[in-house]
Amino acid sequence: QVQVVESGGGLVQPGGSLRLSCTVSGINFRIYQMGWYRQAPGKQRELVAGITSGGSTNYADSVKGRFTISRDNARNTLYLQMNSLKLEDAAVYYCKADPLPYWGQGTQVTVSS
């Protein structure tokens, strides 16, 4: 049984930082490309950052230079370090092993002054 559990969200002021974590069980974590996605109210879910099994990364233009994705294969855990947060970064953040169809419950990120 595959389980995806995201954590680390919260309320932060503009310019602040958060570190999200995602632990995945039930799969061979190290062989999968992983991605962080987000969905804001009234908007489609979008890919924020991805990391391959080999550690290559890619980012949405809107977060380049501010967010950093990383993984710890020994802990089956994916991370997203988010710096210089903006109001428009507020959303529910999800992680996913691509191309598998499993989603977690997400973690809420609220950016507000």
Handedness of CA 74, 79, 12, 108 (dihedral sign): negative
What tens-digit pLDDT sequence spans the chain (113 residues)?
999 999 999 999 999 999 999 999 999 999 999 999 999 999 999 999 999 999 999 999 999 999 999 999 999 999 999 999 999 999 999 999 999 999 999 999 999 98
In angstroms, what CA-CA distances link 16 with 69, 84, 103, 104? 17, 5, 27, 25
- Give bridge partners of residue 80 from the DSSP assignment: 20, 69
Evaluate whether 67 touches 47 at the Cβ level (below 8 Å).
no
Phi, psi of 73 (to 5 degrees): -65, -30
